[in-house]
Amino acid sequence: MVSYYKRTKNELIYVFHGIHPAIRGEVWEFLLGCYHPMSTFDERKQIRQHRREQYVRLKNECSKMFPVVGSGKYITAPVITEDCQPIRNPVVALETNLGLYVKRTDRTLLFYNKPENLSKLQDILSVYAWIDIDVGYCQGMSDLCSPMIILLENEADAFWCFERLMRRLRGNFQCTETFVGVQTQLSNLATVTQVIDPKLHQHLETLGGGNYLFAFRMLIVLFRREFSFCDSLYLWEMMWALEYDPDLFSLYEELELNMEKAEGSKGKSKPTQKYRKYERENMKIKSVDAPLPISVFLVASVLKDKSSVLLHQARGLDDVVKILNDMTGNLDAKKACIGALKLHKKYVKAKTHCNSKSMG
């Protein structure tokens, strides 16, 4: 997926190949921790069958609360009473909102011309909202789930792939009146931009955008709106590959085992690989905080690419939002990836130098 070669003595070139569409769904299951990288075909077959049966049970239970689940139908309009008043039942409200977002998801794709595919998307999101009561359904989840359904023909397989993705991202959707789930990433984005492009950061602060909330959408749905459908999938798999943890499956299984059996008799599994390349780069900073996700540097790469336009044309936050919205569908995914890795390297170098000076 990612290969490297040297063009000159000191220049390292990244070549991004992406995943062939024919095997993309299967590879995603590995990248998201659905299977152990060393698992055999028979082991995966057994796990897959168990999960499919588990999903059927969950779906049947969920349908008792959400009758539309499993019916082959999907909600197309707000549910109201006979006298045209909105229904106050929170369960009905959740299912209605979910259905309306489903109807608007990826409507330019022929795949969703078939009602059964819209129904499948609604069922998966409903079951997830039912099992994750702390988060439920939030706007943007349908954008994250949609590719799973397109790539994985079996509904249960798509559900578990989405569930694994949400284990990574669910914190992004935990918002209150005073806190947004991606706030930490937005703060990290501000820090990164201040280091790699201080002039742009100062300009954004002057405009009142120092909190970087204008980048909220990019992080919450992982660039689904800024890049084309195919390019956004390419970005996802590159992010997951760069941050891939081969022990992810074991960690997930161990968590589930400990929830079911308090004794945890199996103990901890042996790590497959201690540190990946991206982690090793982050470790150079010697920060006590969690390493910055590559998604932060992808946003920084987009901002860096538009730095000149933002500096010369943005006279307010509305201008910033307009400039970023105007680039929708006109961005190059490979260029953004290369730019993100270059900025990451530059950031690590700057922070390492800063830490060395403070210690010396």
Whole-angstrom distance, CA of residue 62 vs CA of residue 256: 20
Q: pLDDT value at position 189?
A: 97
In this predicted model, which residue has the larger pLDDT, 31 or 288? 31
Give bridge partners of residue 4 from the DSSP assignment: 14
The tokens for 89 are 């039942």
CB atoms within 10 A of CB 98: 26
pTM for the full predicted model: 0.83
Give residue-wise pLDDT tens across range 249-278.
Answer: 888 887 666 655 544 444 444 444 544 555
Whole-angstrom distance, CA of residue 67 vs CA of residue 65: 6
CB atoms within 10 A of CB 146: 24
Which whole number is the average pLDDT over 280-288?
55
pLDDT band at 6 (very low <50, low <70, confident <90, very high): very low
pLDDT over 90 at 10, yes or no: no
pLDDT over 90 at 312, yes or no: yes
Under DSSP, is residue 8 helix (H, G, I), strand (E, B) or coil? strand
CATH of domain 175-360: 1.10.472.80
Give residue-wise pLDDT tens across range 176-213.
Answer: 777 878 999 999 999 999 999 999 999 999 999 999 99
Give residue-wise pLDDT tens across range 79-133.
Answer: 544 555 555 555 655 676 777 888 899 989 999 999 999 999 999 999 999 999 8
pLDDT over 90 at 13, yes or no: no
Whole-angstrom distance, CA of residue 192 vs CA of residue 297: 8
Q: pLDDT value at position 88?
A: 53
pLDDT band at 11 (very low <50, low <70, confident <90, very high): very low
Q: pLDDT value at position 329?
A: 80
How far, CA to CA in Å, does 306 sit from each of 186, 232, 254, 259, 323? Answer: 18, 19, 44, 47, 8
pLDDT over 60 at 360, yes or no: no
Whole-angstrom distance, CA of residue 185 vs CA of residue 219: 8
CB atoms within 10 A of CB 94: 17
Whole-angstrom distance, CA of residue 279 vs CA of residue 291: 7
CB atoms within 10 A of CB 120: 20
Asked if 80 contacts 87 with a C-beta cutoff of 8 angstroms, the reply is yes
What percentage of residues in the chain have a pLDDT greater than 70? 77
The tokens for 78 are 């707000």
Q: pLDDT value at position 271?
A: 47
Whole-angstrom distance, CA of residue 179 vs CA of residue 326: 28
Q: pLDDT value at position 155?
A: 97
Q: Which CATH number fits domain 32-172: 1.10.8.270, 1.10.490.20, 3.40.50.300, 2.40.10.10?
A: 1.10.8.270
Question: What dihedral do alpha carbons 125, 137, 294, 303 form, nearest 10°?
Answer: 120
Domain boundaries, the chain: 32-172, 175-360
pLDDT over 60 at 14, yes or no: no
What percentage of residues in the chain have a pLDDT greater than 90? 57
pLDDT over 70 at 4, yes or no: no
How far, CA to CA in Å, does 342 sit from each of 9, 53, 100, 301? Answer: 17, 45, 40, 9
Whole-angstrom distance, CA of residue 20 vs CA of residue 244: 18
CB atoms within 10 A of CB 165: 23
Give bridge partners of residue 86 from the DSSP assignment: 80
Strand 11-16 to 2-8 pairing: antiparallel
pLDDT over 70 at 280, yes or no: no
Give bridge partners of residue 2 from the DSSP assignment: 16
Under DSSP, is residue 6 helix (H, G, I), strand (E, B) or coil? strand
Asked if 332 contacts 345 with a C-beta cutoff of 8 angstroms, the reply is no
Which whole number is the average pLDDT over 40-44?
96
Of 177, 19, 357, residue with least CA distance to 29? 19
Give residue-wise pLDDT tens across range 325-338.
Answer: 998 888 899 999 99
Whole-angstrom distance, CA of residue 237 vs CA of residue 17: 11
Q: pLDDT value at position 97?
A: 73
Whole-angstrom distance, CA of residue 1 vs CA of residue 185: 26
Tell whether the torsion through CA atoms of 342, 345, 349 and 354 is positive or negative. Answer: positive
Whole-angstrom distance, CA of residue 253 vs CA of residue 160: 13
Whole-angstrom distance, CA of residue 140 vs CA of residue 122: 13
Please, what is the average pLDDT of the chain? Answer: 83
Give residue-wise pLDDT tens across range 203-240.
Answer: 999 999 999 999 999 999 999 999 999 999 999 999 99
